[in-house]
Chain A
């Protein structure tokens, strides 16, 4: 692999990373996104995609010039990996190089060669993957196995107790759900097809990422070793996909990791993540809100309804087909669920993914049985489809059910031929033909529906029974989400306020939630600062009169207080309240999480930032709070920025956003969309990130210094964002420092640089 080839692969990698919905990249025709992500560990010999990309980046930069990575050679020598892996890497690399040589064909001949070469790459990949599932049986060199799962994990998280369901969805969310269901003639079919691993996992990495929400991959891998060969193959393939997705969809994975118990679905649907309702729906759909991605239901099912899935699979779905399954087969399903349940965070979507996927496999065997008993099955299915259609108000399902039921009744009436012969030879032959054709042609979708509808109905009933509300948008934030402690601080009314409103009385509500187990040894800290033009003054930040001994997962702790602000020190200020809770959990000690709420009074300082153009009210409030926050907390950074540009214009223009939340296309202009402006914390983060680009643009010597600061480039990406691009690393390090992200501790050189060169 030479640097040119590596550069092209890195370019493709960056494209796939930054375009999670794109399955192909025009610069690398013939290979899909999924194939690409599976291929890279093979040719680099590095399973960890972050490390693999870093390695490839070094090759692209010319810092390494090896045909086969040295790491894999060393590992093979030391017996850490089977030696055939080395040969795999060589062969795959040779195939990839042959393909890349003709990536830009100059004629029909080379175009044909490229197509052949791409096919060879795919074939090689398939061969390698196939051989690796077989290899452990014959290899003498032991595979490195993950640490065994402590027995306590399984007992700490029994399936029935680990998933305290309590879905909370607002009427709006329920409406969105209902709309999805209303259009859902094909959803049952999609449901199963999308659930079926590993195909679904390969096709929809967002879903895969979501599946990773609550699992320890090493534990899943270890557990998989004990399974029969077929299940083990499934598991290992899933784990592989999960690892890829975890890398490519880091944000979603983090997000999903916070929604292990259904109680926290409110967080998913709420604005803590800087997501609008539409974006939340888009996320669980795994595609654009109006796009053709996986259905809302299938996405939700995979991502959220883990325990429900388990229940549905073991009680509903399994029951629905139980007459066709042997006891042994059912026990395998249960085993799959049990493995997922062994993960520390409880059985999330993987259970339904595995079990239903497995059932789909078995459905193939059911086909012949169903066709043999077609009339009886058709009657039952017809009734089921009709009833479900009625419940869902789906004319398509009702119509399909009626048709199928009718066909079944005809067939049941002593056999299709005899029954219809009484009605006349001509009619008999016609209807016999139609019925036979119908049974044959719809057999597969019916089987799919048979399996999936109970799951679907169970999900719907569960939601209805659980009640629903949604958390309205408010000014709290969770860019850095603690996996153990949920904390939300809200203020009402939320403003913004005029100076003439002083003295001003507002009510703060702080809600603390235990996410993964009871919180003990609890400590509270409360800070308040009023950032005004020339000063930052402290303000009252009361603590509860008594601190609770513990906070249970089923009962959040709520602290409410009312505060009056008066006096000139609050004129033209941003009042920021930060409530921090520290506690021990069953899994960790000293966990800490903060909730922030802020209000704007008058016109707080905005440095050289100018909120220009037209802004929606909420977004305007958020960006104003963010500017004041940044000015107040990072005055040196803002001063550097303002030294470079006397004015930095902030526009709300989603069409010009070139990143996820914002864009600094060059000079003193930044564009934003709503996604990052759901709360002050996220708004401060994205403002600081884009301001980092503006600062580099206006003070290029700082960027030059960053490139030469020892160790900075070796740490890229900073906090997983921006790949190996130093330009993004520079901006991200600034943003993370500005909002106090803990992850920056893992990038000490970047932290040291921004600390000494930007914030001091």
Chain B
């Protein structure tokens, strides 16, 4: 085999190699983008943000305190000052705010025992009294609870999301750093 043929063979092999690598890379499944989250998360009385509909909510939680066609449905809670709230901007539930009082016998331990310690802590207006917002982004649940005692004020349910999106959508008055203003 002459030198020319060897060179042609080497070029051919090189081209095959390049094509092979190209095909291999294209055929590989794309890795999931970092931070991707499941589409649904925790639920409140089987109402799941991201999947439950308005009719599901009304069927499960009963008659709302306000207009049933409202974007934000209010339901009676054990707190006479604050109702439970379910945000249904179109026909799908996107956010639930459950109000907790001492009568409900719920504590932060009910959440931490199930989901572990919250990966994110946000500081809001009640932080001066020791109540922060603890967020599980990938689980679609957050709670306002005390920094030391297991006292729970609210539980939030939402579609799993990123911290930026969560802050923009649901926690505008909260910050990742504590800046008390009194």
Contact = CB atoms under 8 A, between A and B. Distances in A.
A658 B151 CA distance: 26
B130 A700 contact: yes
B107 to A, nearest CB: 11
A324 interface: no
Interface in B44-98: 66, 70-72, 74, 78-83, 85, 87, 97
A4 B80 contact: no
B102 A707 contact: no
Contacts of A698: 130
B48 to A, nearest CB: 19
Contacts of B72: 3, 62, 65
A3 B72 CA distance: 9
Contact of B81 (A18, A693, A700, A712): A712
B147 to A, nearest CB: 8
Contacts of A2: 71
Interface stretch (B2-10, B27-35, B114-122, B167-175): B167-175
Nearest to B102: A704
B151 A11 contact: no
Contact of A710 (B81, B83, B85, B168): B81
Interface in B115-159: 125-131, 146-149, 151, 153
A65 B178 CA distance: 30
B182 A664 contact: yes
Contact of B129 (A62, A63, A696, A710): A696
A728 interface: yes
Contact of A664 (B82, B128, B147, B169): B128
Nearest to A66: B70
B101 A707 contact: yes
A202 interface: no
Contact of A701 (B79, B128, B147, B149): B149
A505 to B, nearest CB: 41
A287 B173 CA distance: 28
Contact of A65 (B70, B80, B168): B70
B181 interface: yes
A104 B70 CA distance: 27
Q: Identify whether the interface residues of A are mostly helix, strand, loop, or mixed.
A: helix
Contacts of B173: 7, 10-11
Contacts of A3: 72, 87
A731 interface: yes
A358 interface: no
Given A693-B182, A713-B82, A665 B128 contact: yes
A710 B128 contact: no
Say which size band chain A's interface belongs to: 35 or more
A79 interface: no
B32 to A, nearest CB: 23
Nearest to B170: A4
Interface string A305-333: 00000000000000000000000000000
A157 interface: no
B129 A727 contact: yes
Contacts of B178: 665-666
Contacts of B20: none
A63 B102 contact: no
B129 A701 contact: no
Contacts of B74: 62-63
B180 interface: yes
Contact of A666 (B71, B127, B168): B127
Contacts of B169: 4
A725 interface: yes
A10 B125 CA distance: 12
Nearest to B78: A708
Interface of A: 2-4, 7-8, 10-11, 18, 61-63, 65, 104, 658-659, 662-666, 689-690, 693, 696-698, 700-701, 703-705, 707-714, 725-728, 730-731
Given A10-B173, A709-B81, 15 more contacts: A62-B74, A62-B85, A62-B97, A659-B182, A665-B180, A666-B127, A666-B178, A693-B182, A700-B151, A701-B102, A701-B151, A707-B82, A710-B81, A712-B81, A727-B126
16 contacts: A4-B169, A11-B173, A62-B72, A663-B182, A664-B182, A666-B180, A700-B149, A701-B102, A701-B151, A703-B126, A703-B131, A704-B153, A707-B82, A708-B79, A712-B81, A713-B81
A-B pairs, 10 with minimum CB distance: A659-B182, A696-B129, A697-B130, A700-B151, A700-B146, A713-B81, A708-B101, A62-B72, A65-B72, A708-B79
Interface of B: 66, 70-72, 74, 78-83, 85, 87, 97, 101-103, 125-131, 146-149, 151, 153, 168-169, 172-173, 178-182
